[in-house]
Structure 1
Amino acid sequence: MISDEVLQSTDALLFGRRTWQVMAAAWPTRAGDPFADRMNALPKYVASRALGADDLTWNSTLLPGGDVLGAVRELRERDGKGLQVMGSASVARQLIEHDLVDEYRLMLEPILLGGGKRVFPETGQQRRLELVSATTTGTGVLMCTYRAA
């Protein structure tokens, strides 16, 4: 499964508060398949000013002071596979704005919703990308990996 491959190249996950709350409520009860087991085992970092360290479960750590940018810069200096953002549009937008994204893994779903949260900054700054890979799943999801050109 493609998603399994993505998680195998990840050392930790980064979430905003709302996405973490949804994921932490759902994933710990799932077990027995490689993706769920890996999701539950990975360390998680949470950007939040509303949650306290005592509120966190699911192998999660609160970023100090909610400082996403400083924490990600520090985490990037460590050796390892990588830090992955799932969902968390506002966190992703901040990382993109400050050139802290090395690779984009975009999933294009075969459905139009006509709305949603913006992931990309509205600054108008051009960021050239190169396509690394593109795969279509059996359900028609297009999985594209891009890196900064």
Structure 2
Amino acid sequence: MRPLIVFSDLTLDGYMTGPGDDLGFMVDDPALEAESTGELRNVADAIVVGRKVFPEMSAYWTSAEGDLAHWMNTAPKHLLTTDPSVDTSAWGNTVLEVGDGIERVRELKAKQGGALVVFGGTATVRSLIAADLVDQYWLKINPVLTGAGGSPFTALAGQRRLTLESARAYSSGTVLLVYTS
């Protein structure tokens, strides 16, 4: 079975987005991006993305440069949606996964291949965590407190114990934590 990785920026107080879905809290760290991109390419071969965040992600990544942008633009992407008429032409290699997103992800995990990595959005990540489909968490903890925002962990039915696989601090103050569930 293919593992599902959540790769997410978080504030120190645990939010994926700030108030009003603001992502301005993210600290740019080229060293972290270079290391994590190489590691992701070694383990993941496809991306899972939610419908709400798809337009923003496709607009951003198709105009971005660098190794991570290249990987994001060339890797196969699975767009979770209930709308079969969503236009995916703006972001190449995107396949619609129409229907119940949880069931679509279960089917994708059952196929052969490398890991699947989900970058967002908050509601998609929250639902995958609640359904206990996440195998690893790659959490970029930014040295920022927002006090409010979108949390991926609010739908948990109970406590979950995780195993720390690695922890790396960067000069930007950002820490990359990798946990397995």
**2:45 alignment partner in structure 1:** 11
Higher relative CO (CA 8 A, sep ≥ 6), structure 1 or 2? 2
Q: CA deviation at 1:124?
A: 4.1
In the alignment, structure 1 residue 42 sits paired with structure 2 residue 71: no
Within the candidate set 69, 73, 78, 2:111 is matched to 78
2:85 matches 1:62: no
**Which residue of 156, 165, 169 corresponds with 1:136?**
169
- RMSD of equivalent CA atoms: 1.6
**Which secondary structure state, in structure 1, belongs to the residue aligned with residue 125 of structure 2?**
helix
Larger deviation: 5-14 or 90-99? 5-14
| Structure with the largest fraction of helix | 1
Alignment correspondent of 2:15: none
**TM-superposed deviation, 1:106:** 0.9
The answer to whether residue 130 in structure 2 is matched with residue 97 in structure 1 is yes
Runs of 4+ residues over 2 Å off in structure 1: 48-51, 121-124
Deviation at 1:22, TM superposition (A): 0.2
Question: Retained in 2: the 8 A contact 1:133–1:144?
Answer: yes
The counterpart of 2:61, out of the listed 27, 52, 57, is: 27
Given the superposition, is the C-alpha separation of residues 83 and 124 from structure 1 closer, same or farther in structure 2, using an over 3 Å criterion? same
What amino acid is the match of 1:48?
T
Q: Following the alignment from structure 1 to structure 2, what is the Cα–Cα distance between the partners of residues 25 and 123?
A: 31
Q: Which amino acid aligns with 2:148?
A: G
Alpha-carbon separation, structure 1, partners of 2:68 and 2:103: 29
Question: 1:8-49, CA deviations, whole angstroms, 9 ceiling, x for partnerless residues?
Answer: 121111111121110111211224x22111111011111223
Give the alignment's TM-score, normalised by structure 2. Answer: 0.74
C-alpha separation in 1, matches of 2:79 and 2:164: 29
More strand by share: 2
Count the aligned residue pairs. 145
Deviation, structure 1 residue 91: 1.1
Q: 1:47-90: per-residue Cα shift (whole Å, max 9, x none)?
A: 2234624x11212111122x211111111112222111112111
Q: Is the 8 A contact 2:83 2:98 kept in 1?
A: no
Please tell me whether the aligned partners of residues 130 and 157 of structure 2 are also in contact (alpha carbons under 8 angstroms): no
List per-residue Cα deviations over 1:95-148 (Å, max 9, x = no partner).
Answer: 111111111111110111221102014344111101000111231111000011
Q: TM-score, normalised to structure 1's length?
A: 0.88
> Matches of residues 120-131 of structure 1 in structure 2 within 5 Å?
120-131=153-164
